[in-house]
Structure 1
């Protein structure tokens, strides 16, 4: 019986549904910001400086071995490497949301240490650092 009203009066049904949609949109705009959680993935930055090296040399001789080692760490979503022509290399390692930010840095730093013997001698003298990025 209730559905019969909407079948017989399709314009009324359309207007009523548009009112409900408009009411929902207006209500969602009035929600306080605290209702939305702050979702930022855990991120660890690996940085290295190789003075005098160009971007191609950095990506081949420094970033390659480090990426190969980091690739085995659990809960990694993706890695984003970047090399610049002034001798700086940066690898951004993003972890899943369930990963503890304080613990994520430890396996990355361990894997970076495992990659150090494969790096050029000039790079071994400089420091390769893995730091948790603040959220």
Structure 2
């Protein structure tokens, strides 16, 4: 899962930009967990669909990631660019805005970039372990 990468990216960006660990940063961490988990679920669902169609484990993982790459990058980068004004906020309430924006941008950027490589590898690892224990998944008859 890209969650450890995303959370560490949020704290790294907070450290780089001089943001304290406050309630606003912690709220953006909860938001990050949901968004990064959604990306992982999408890749795994598509990879599992390919696996049930009889493709090899490696091909399933690569095709699942490739099928979801563009939508994940589009939504993630739209989210990131939408939060840049919060990172650069000034005036009243700027500390809360900068805390939310910085943690969310840092976490989403690192979580997405590392996730698109880590999730297929973890899918291959855990799917092969599951297939050793319970057998290969039943193929879909079209």
TM-score (norm 1): 0.37
Larger Cα Rg: Structure 1 or Structure 2? 1
Which structure is higher in RCO with an 8 Å CA cutoff and minimum separation 6?
2
Q: Which structure shows the higher helix fraction? A: 2
Q: Which structure shows the higher strand fraction? A: 1
